[in-house]
Amino acid sequence: RALAAADASPFPFRELPAGSDEHHHVAEGHDAEVLIRWGDPVLPGAPPFDPHAQTPEAQAKQFGYNNDFLGYFPLPGAADPAGHGLLAVNHEYTNEELMFPGLGRQEGKTAFAGMSKHLVDIEMAAHGGSVIEVRRDGDRWRVVPDSAFARRITATTPMTLTGPAAGSARLRTAADSEGRSVLGMINNCAGGTTPWGTWLTCEENINYYFTGTLPPDSLEARNHKRLGIPGNLYAWGKFHERFDLGREPNEPNRFGWVVEIDPFDPNSVPKKRTAMGRFKHEGAAGILARDGRYVVFQGDDERFDYVYRFVTDATVDRQDKAANRDILDRGTLSVARFDADGRGAWLPLVFGEGPLTPANGFRDQADVLIETRRAADLLGATKMDRPEDVEANPKTGKVYVMLTNNGRRKADQVDAANPRPENRFGHIVEIGPDAGDFAAPGFAWEVLVRCGDPSVASVGATFSSATTKDGWFGMPDNCAVDSQGRLWVATDGNSAARTGRADGIWAMETEGAGRGTAKHFFQVPAGAEMCGPYFTPDDTTFFVAVQHPGEADEEDLKAEPATFEKPATRWPDFDPTLPPRPAVVAITKRGGGRVGT
Ligand code: FEO
Ligand code: CA
Ligand code: CA
Ligand code: CA
The ligand placed nearest to the CA atom of residue 494 is 3
The ligand placed nearest to the CA atom of residue 479 is 2
CA of 548 to the centre of ligand 4 (A): 6
Determine the atom of ligand 1 nearest the C-alpha atom of 301. 2
User: d(Cα 54, Cα 38) in Å, to the nearest integer?
Assistant: 12
CA of 535 to the centre of ligand 3 (A): 20
User: d(Cα 37, Cα 48) in Å, to the nearest integer?
Assistant: 12
CA of 529 to the centre of ligand 4 (A): 6
Determine the atom of ligand 1 nearest the C-alpha atom of 204. 1
The ligand placed nearest to the CA atom of residue 205 is 1
CA of 145 to the centre of ligand 4 (A): 28
Q: Please give the distance of CA 249 from its chain centroid, rounded to a whole number.
A: 27
The ligand placed nearest to the CA atom of residue 532 is 2
CA of 301 to the centre of ligand 1 (A): 6
pTM of the model: 0.97
Assess contact for 343 and 359: CB atoms under 8 A.
Answer: no
How far apart, in Å, are the Cα atoms of 463 and each of 60, 179, 418, 530? 44, 49, 17, 21
ipTM of the complex: 0.92
Ligand 1 pocket, Cβ-based, cut-off 6 angstroms? 92, 189, 204, 282, 301, 388, 477
Assess contact for 501 and 494: CB atoms under 8 A.
Answer: yes
Confidence at residue 3, expressed as pLDDT on a 0 to 100 scale: 46
How far apart, in Å, are the Cα atoms of 537 and each of 74, 137, 234, 542, 543? 8, 17, 38, 10, 12
Confidence at residue 6, expressed as pLDDT on a 0 to 100 scale: 47
Q: Please give the distance of CA 222 from its chain centroid, rounded to a whole number.
A: 27
Confidence at residue 110, expressed as pLDDT on a 0 to 100 scale: 67
Angle between helices 219-226 and 372-379 (to 10 degrees): 70
Q: Which residues are CB-contacts of 107 (< 8 A; sequence separation ≥ 6)?
A: none
User: d(Cα 283, Cα 68) in Å, to the nearest integer?
Assistant: 11
Assess contact for 494 and 473: CB atoms under 8 A.
Answer: yes
Q: What is the pLDDT along the chain (597 residues), one digit of tens a residue?
A: 344 444 579 999 999 999 999 999 999 999 999 999 999 999 999 999 999 999 999 999 999 999 999 999 999 999 999 999 999 999 999 999 999 999 988 776 666 788 999 999 999 999 999 999 999 998 899 999 999 999 999 999 999 999 999 999 999 999 999 999 999 999 999 999 999 999 999 999 999 999 999 988 999 999 999 999 999 999 999 999 999 999 999 999 999 999 999 999 999 999 999 999 999 999 999 999 999 999 999 999 999 999 999 999 999 999 999 999 999 999 999 999 999 999 999 999 999 999 999 999 999 999 999 999 999 999 999 999 999 999 999 999 999 999 999 999 999 999 999 999 999 999 999 999 999 999 999 999 999 999 999 999 999 999 999 999 999 999 999 999 999 999 999 999 999 999 999 999 999 999 999 999 999 999 999 999 999 999 999 999 999 999 999 998 877 767 778 999 999 999 999 999 999 999 999 999 999 999 999
User: d(Cα 582, Cα 91) in Å, to the nearest integer?
Assistant: 10
User: d(Cα 179, Cα 200) in Å, to the nearest integer?
Assistant: 21
CA of 352 to the centre of ligand 2 (A): 34
Determine the atom of ligand 1 nearest the C-alpha atom of 299. 2
408 pairs with which residues across the strands? Answer: none
How far apart, in Å, are the Cα atoms of 106 and each of 84, 103, 563, 568? 43, 9, 10, 17
CATH topology of domain 2-589: Neuraminidase (2.120.10)
Q: Largest Cα–Cα distance in the chain?
A: 72
Determine the atom of ligand 1 nearest the C-alpha atom of 93. 1
- For atom 1 of ligand 1, the residue with the nearest CA is 189
CA of 434 to the centre of ligand 1 (A): 29
The ligand placed nearest to the CA atom of residue 301 is 1
Domain assignments of the chain as residue spans, ordered by start:
2-589
CA of 551 to the centre of ligand 4 (A): 9
Assess contact for 312 and 199: CB atoms under 8 A.
Answer: no
Determine the atom of ligand 1 nearest the C-alpha atom of 189. 1
Q: Which residues are CB-contacts of 434 (< 8 A; sequence separation ≥ 6)?
A: 440, 441, 442, 443, 444
User: d(Cα 131, Cα 137) in Å, to the nearest integer?
Assistant: 19
CA of 284 to the centre of ligand 3 (A): 15
For ligand 4, an ion, list residues with CB under 5 A: 529, 547
**What value does the CA radius of gyration of the chain take, rounded to a whole number of Å?**
23
511-515: which pairs have CB atoms within 8 A and are 24 or more residues apart? 511/10, 511/396, 513/8, 514/8, 514/9, 514/10, 514/464, 514/466, 515/448, 515/464
Phi, psi of 253 (to 5 degrees): -70, -10
Confidence at residue 109, expressed as pLDDT on a 0 to 100 scale: 61
Confidence at residue 112, expressed as pLDDT on a 0 to 100 scale: 76
How many residues are listed for the chain in this entry?
Answer: 597
CA of 404 to the centre of ligand 3 (A): 7
Handedness of CA 147, 148, 150, 156 (dihedral sign): positive
Handedness of CA 127, 489, 492, 429 (dihedral sign): positive
DSSP string, 529-591: EEEEEEE-TTSSEEEEEEESTT---TT-TTSPPP-SSS-S--TTT--TTS----EEEEEEETT
The ligand placed nearest to the CA atom of residue 548 is 4
Q: Which residues are CB-contacts of 492 (< 8 A; sequence separation ≥ 6)?
A: 388, 404, 475, 477, 478, 503, 529, 530, 531
143 pairs with which residues across the strands? Answer: 134
Taking Cα atoms as reference points, which of 407, 403, 446 lies closest to residue 423?
Answer: 407
